[in-house]
């Protein structure tokens, strides 16, 4: 499944009212795009956050458990728990309860 397929899935899910699934598909497409745009040997997270900062002129932080996080740290998660930040997928899957 390629990037275009993920974007199309995100659009279909959004139209069907499945917002969380749409967001996850869109984030996967964005992460794959980040890796394609930044193929040099850097971590996937660094590619994602770097492209996010370059492509989206937004300096936004989100408070989670009394700590302020850049929005790109909230949106990216490798599901291993090894990366800093709460990570959106951990919130959705219940590993870290969203409050």
**Pair of tokens at residue 15:** 């139209």
pLDDT of 57 reads 76
Cβ atoms 46, 54 nearer than 8 A: no
Cβ atoms 61, 31 nearer than 8 A: no
CA distance 58 to 51: 12
Nearest 5°: CA angle at 8, between 44 and 13? 100
76 or 82, which is more confident?
76
pTM as predicted: 0.67
Reply yes or no on whether the pLDDT at 92 is more than 70: no
- Give 64's Cβ-side CA count (13 Å radius): 18
pLDDT of 36 reads 92
Tens of pLDDT, residues 50-67: 888 888 777 778 787 788
Tens of pLDDT, residues 21-38: 998 899 889 989 999 999
């Amino acid at each position: 499944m390629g990037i275009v397929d993920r974007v199309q899935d995100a659009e279909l899910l959004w139209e069907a009212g499945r917002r969380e699934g749409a967001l996850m598909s869109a984030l996967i497409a964005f992460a794959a795009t980040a890796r394609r745009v930044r193929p040099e040997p850097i971590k996937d997270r660094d590619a994602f956050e770097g492209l996010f900062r370059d492509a989206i002129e937004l300096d936004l932080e989100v408070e989670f458990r009394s700590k302020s996080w850049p929005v790109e740290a909230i949106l990216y998660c490798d599901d291993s728990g090894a990366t800093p930040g709460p990570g959106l997928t951990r919130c959705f899957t219940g590993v870290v309860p969203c409050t």
